[in-house]
Each structure stands twice: as C-alpha cells, then as structure tokens.
Amino acid sequence: MSKARLLTFLILTIFAAPAQNAWAQDKPIRIGIVTFLSGPGAAPFGIPARKAAEMLFDALNAGEVPAPYRTKGFGGTPIEMVLLDEAGPPTGVATRYRHLVEKQNVDVVIGYISSGSCLAVAPIAEELKKLTVFFDCGTPRIFEDASYRYVFRTAAHATMDNVAAAKYVRDKLPKTKRIAGMNQNYAWGQDSWRDFESAMKVLVPQLEITTSQMPKLFAGQFGGEISALLSSRPDVIHSSFWGGDLEALILQGTPRGLFKRSKVVLTAGEIALNALGNRIPDGTIIGARGPHSMFAPDNALNRWFSKAYEQRFEMPPVFSSYHMVQAIFGTKAAYEKAQAAANGKKPTQGQIISAFEGLTFETPSGKTEMKLGNGHQGVQGTAYGMTKRVGGKTVVTEVIHYSAEEVNPPEGARSEDWIRSGFRH
C-alpha cells in the first residue's frame, strides 16, 4: 500500500470508528431521554414519560423486569440516562439535540413528543449518524416524506388514531352525517384532521363538513372556536388536542354545552382522565394512541409495569408512559438481537440498526412490529371507548379494539392514498 493510500485509510478509520463503535466501549451505555420537562406539555405528557424512563432504567439495571427482558441493562451492560427538556420551538429543540450528541456523547437518543420536534430532529440525526428512536410524536410525514437509516419510531403514527376514530364513529354512531374538527395548527393537528376527514368520507359518502377550527398550538383560550363549533351544529366533533389545550377544551366547552350538543372524539383523550376525571362529560369518545392504559392487554409485562409505576408514583401510567417504555424495550431488543448475532460481543451501532429494522418485540401494550418505513416505523392496533360515570368514578365503556391491519396503511403506501382507496391492502 502506498503512503498516500495508507494515510487515506487511517483518516477514514479514525472518523468512521466513533459512529460504528460508540456502543462498543467498556462503560455504561449513555441514553439521551428527551421529553417535555417544562411548559404546557410537561405535566400531562412529558413528566409521566420521564417517570416511566426513570423507573424502567432502574429496573433494567437491577434485572427486575420480566421476560423477555430479564437481562440486566442492555445485554448485561448498565444503562445511564442523560435527561433533556424538549420544551421550546423546533429550532431550539434541534440545537439541543446537536449538543446532546456532540457534547454529551450519548450513544442513542430516545425522545420527542411533538411532531414538530421530530420533523426538525430527523434530518439532523441522519447528518450526525446517531441512532435516534422517536417514542411518541405522531405525524405520518416522518417516513412517508423521507427515508432514514438512523431514525426509528416505535409508536404507531397518527393515521392509526384517526382511521380507528372514524371506524368507531361508524360502528357506534351510524346516523352521523355532519362532522367538524378542532385541531392544533401544526403537523400533528393538520395530519390528524386530514386523515379523520378522509376516512369519514370513505365510510359516509354523503358526509358534510360543517367547520374545521385550527387554533395555534397551546393557545389555551378557545372561546371563538367553541362558538363556531356550536353554531355549525355537527353530529360529531373530532379533536387531536393534547396537553394543556386538551384540558382547556374540556373545561371551556363543557359549561357551554359543547359535549351535549355533539359527540366529541378525543383521539388523545386518555391523557386527561387522571387530571380531569369526572369533569369529562359522559359519552365522550376517548382514545389512548394505541392499546395502552385502560386498553392494554392483560399480559405479564403490563401487569408488572402498571403495578410498579403506580406503586412508585402513586398514579397509573398514561399512554406517554407506555410509549416511552415501548421505545426503551424496542432499543433493548434490537441491541440484544445484534449482540446475539455478534456471538455475545458488544454490537456496533450499524449492527444494532440492522437488528432494529423489521424487528418484532413485546411491550406492556402487546406486540410491536416495525413494519413500515422500510422497517423503521412501528405498528400496533388500537381501541376507543366512551366515558361513563360509574360509582362516582369516570370509566371507559363500549370499547372496540381494531387490529393493526385495520388501521395502518401497508408498507410503501402513503396514508392519505390508502385511506382514499378504501383502506385496501
């Protein structure tokens, strides 16, 4: 080998090694956990997700998690949390992601609740070549508008929520002819309303759209929008509101009769049950962004997780808690699959990514399959139900479960095209 070629080889080796071998050092695996720790999204979403991560990190390092996750840490190596606040505009979120990767030297990033955050971070994760697992954000655009090697999302995207919501309306409210929307004016709200409206038009061909309200994210005051909804008199109102906006909609809309005049579908409504309880009107249609919380199966992982979480924090886990655990278990499963393929040696980042693609793994909410986005996007089924006050407590009744195949597009199909096709597979 000539001196010039040898020099080139050494330079490439030096710069390629960190990206491929970041997980192969003889030290704890550093995992960046990003969630809302401040702002309107913190109390209902971000803090429950952080609590779930803290509890699970402790349990994994102690070897206290049931099968198939009994191995301590990741493949016997301890895991270490580096916590980061997601709050702020997407530009700030992107800047802090760079700092987390370049300055705090995490081995993997698990995070992000807001769809705007995920859309900002995904291309930077590719640029920095850092394995990044989105645990909650819902916009289908992540993998339908781009292709990524280093980015995964273990939770199903919002098309699942809104197609299932439309099918629940068809199944439980077959006389529905007029619908309206109340959604936040950014990727999550826009995509959610688009998919619900399109699905309803397929299921109810003579459907009338009375109004679509799109207030600013975290606006907090919705007097004008509620007036518009009341005056348009829809049979069903669809809302993908979350965080403080969700609670504000319930507290401001209830005394004005919004929930009596129309059936209200809250695709992320489960998150408000703990906070508002009996202030949620009877008959409100509630989703939990998957088979989580009251919709979760009775399996060993869920019995362990829900009991351990409630004992530690004196409250039940919400769906953002389930999503966080889902992402951590998926990353652990990919790591240990790669480790097994490497004959027990610590795997490289590239080997973990290959193991993650198309992976099927178990969670407290059942099986997750990484079936979309070339094996980078997870799918699950989901469920909806209606609130009802029983014995002084608000519970969810009239539950219908929908399989993953019923509410998720097939690989390679854009969500909006799949819906307009009549949900053909």
Task: Return the H-helix or E-strand segment holding 237.
Answer: strand 236-239
How far apart are the two ends of the chain, measured CA to CA in Å? 54
Position with higher pLDDT, 277 vs 294: 294
Position with higher pLDDT, 15 vs 336: 336
Mean pLDDT of the region 261-273:
96
- Record the tokens describing residue 385, joined without a space: 């139900």
Q: In the predicted model, is pLDDT for residue 5 greater than 50?
A: no
Q: Are strands 382-390 and 285-287 parallel, antiparallel or unpaired?
A: antiparallel
pLDDT value for 95: 98
Q: Which amino acid is at 171?
A: D
Q: What are phi and psi of 52, to 5 degrees?
A: -60, -40
Give the C-alpha separation, 1 to 174, whole Å: 75
User: How many other C-beta atoms can be found within 10 angstroms of the C-beta atom of residue 363?
Assistant: 30
Q: In the predicted model, is pLDDT for residue 415 greater than 60?
A: yes
Residue 425 pLDDT grade (very low, low, confident, very high; cuts 50, 70, 90) = confident
Mean pLDDT of the region 135-141:
96
Computed over every residue of the chain, the mean pLDDT equals 94
Q: In the predicted model, is pLDDT for residue 345 greater than 60?
A: yes
Give the C-alpha separation, 253 to 318, whole Å: 23
Domain 159-295+381-420 has CATH 3.40.1170.60: no
Q: In what order do the strands lie in the sheet with 263-266?
A: 208-213, 178-182, 236-239, 263-266, 285-287, 382-390, 393-402
Question: Are 238 and 267 within 8 A, CB to CB?
Answer: yes
Give the C-alpha separation, 146 to 37, whole Å: 29
pLDDT value for 23: 59
Closest by Cα among 422, 385, 380, 384 to 405? 380
Give the C-alpha separation, 33 to 323, whole Å: 13
Closest by Cα among 110, 219, 231, 199 to 407? 199
Give the C-alpha separation, 107 to 286, whole Å: 37
Question: Locate tokens 């060993």: which residue?
Answer: 300
Q: What are phi and psi of 398, to 5 degrees?
A: 50, 45
pLDDT value for 8: 38
Q: Do domains 3-157+297-379 and 159-295+381-420 have the same CATH topology?
A: yes
Q: Determine if the pTM surpasses 0.85.
A: yes
Position with higher pLDDT, 16 vs 337: 337
Residue 25 pLDDT grade (very low, low, confident, very high; cuts 50, 70, 90) = low
- Break the chain into its structural domains and give their ranges: 3-157+297-379, 159-295+381-420
Give the C-alpha separation, 7 to 374, whole Å: 36
Task: Return the H-helix or E-strand segment holding 385.
Answer: strand 382-390
Mean pLDDT of the region 251-266:
98
Q: In the predicted model, is pLDDT for residue 13 greater than 80?
A: no
pLDDT value for 274: 82
Q: Which amino acid is at 147?
A: S
Residue 3 pLDDT grade (very low, low, confident, very high; cuts 50, 70, 90) = very low
Domain 3-157+297-379 has CATH 3.40.50.2300: yes
Question: Are 291 and 266 within 8 A, CB to CB?
Answer: no
189-247 pLDDT, tens per residue?
999 999 999 999 999 989 999 999 999 988 999 999 999 999 999 999 999 999 889 99
As beta bridge partners, residue 287 has 384
pLDDT value for 275: 85
Mean pLDDT of the region 406-416:
97
Q: In the predicted model, is pLDDT for residue 26 greater than 80?
A: no
Mean pLDDT of the region 318-327:
98
Q: In the predicted model, is pLDDT for residue 20 greater than 60?
A: no
pLDDT value for 12: 38
- To the nearest 5 percent, what fractions of the chain are helix, strand and coil? 45, 20, 35
Could you tell me how far CA 150 lies from the centroid of its own chain? 18
Mean pLDDT of the region 53-81:
98
Which residues are CB-contacts of 354 (< 8 A; sequence separation ≥ 6)?
338
Q: Which amino acid is at 162?
A: N
Q: In what order do the strands lie in the sheet with 360-363?
A: 79-85, 29-35, 108-111, 132-134, 151-153, 377-379, 366-372, 360-363
Least confident of 16-25, 51-60, 73-82, 403-412: 16-25
Give the C-alpha separation, 149 to 155, whole Å: 17
Give the C-alpha separation, 23 to 311, whole Å: 33
Mean pLDDT of the region 271-289:
94
- Record the tokens describing residue 305, joined without a space: 């997780």
As beta bridge partners, residue 109 has 32, 132
